[in-house]
Copies of this chain bind each other. A is one copy, B any other.
Amino acid sequence: MKEFLVRVVVEPKPELLDPQGQAVERALVELGLKNVSQTRVGKCITFRLKAISASQARQRVTEIAQKFLANPVIERFSVEVEEL
C-alpha cells in the first residue's frame, strides 16, 4: 500500500452564476489586482489515503465524490492524486 495526498475541488458549474465568486472578484479588483476574470469560489477537501496505486485511489475517490462530495445538479468536481 502506498500513501497518497488527495484533493477534491468542488466548484459551481461554469454555466451557473457564482455570487460569492463575483464578490471576491470585485474585491480583488478594488485591492489592485487588475485583469482578473472568471473567479469561482469552491470547496477543497484534502486528505491522505492509502491505496494500491494512484489510479485505484483516483477511481475510488471519484465514485464517492460523485455521490457525496458534490451536488451534480449545480457543482462539478476534480480529483487530484499525488504520491507521498
Contact = CB atoms under 8 A, between A and B. Distances in A.
Interface of A: 1, 9, 11, 21, 24-25, 27-28, 31-51, 60-61, 64, 67-69
B37 A48 contact: yes
Which interface residue of A25, A47, A68 has the most chain B CB atoms within 10 A? A47
Contact of A37 (B36, B47, B61): B47
B35 A46 contact: no
A44 B43 contact: yes
Nearest to A10: B44
Contact of A47 (B25, B67, B68): B25
Which interface residue of A35, A43, A51 has the most chain B CB atoms within 10 A? A35
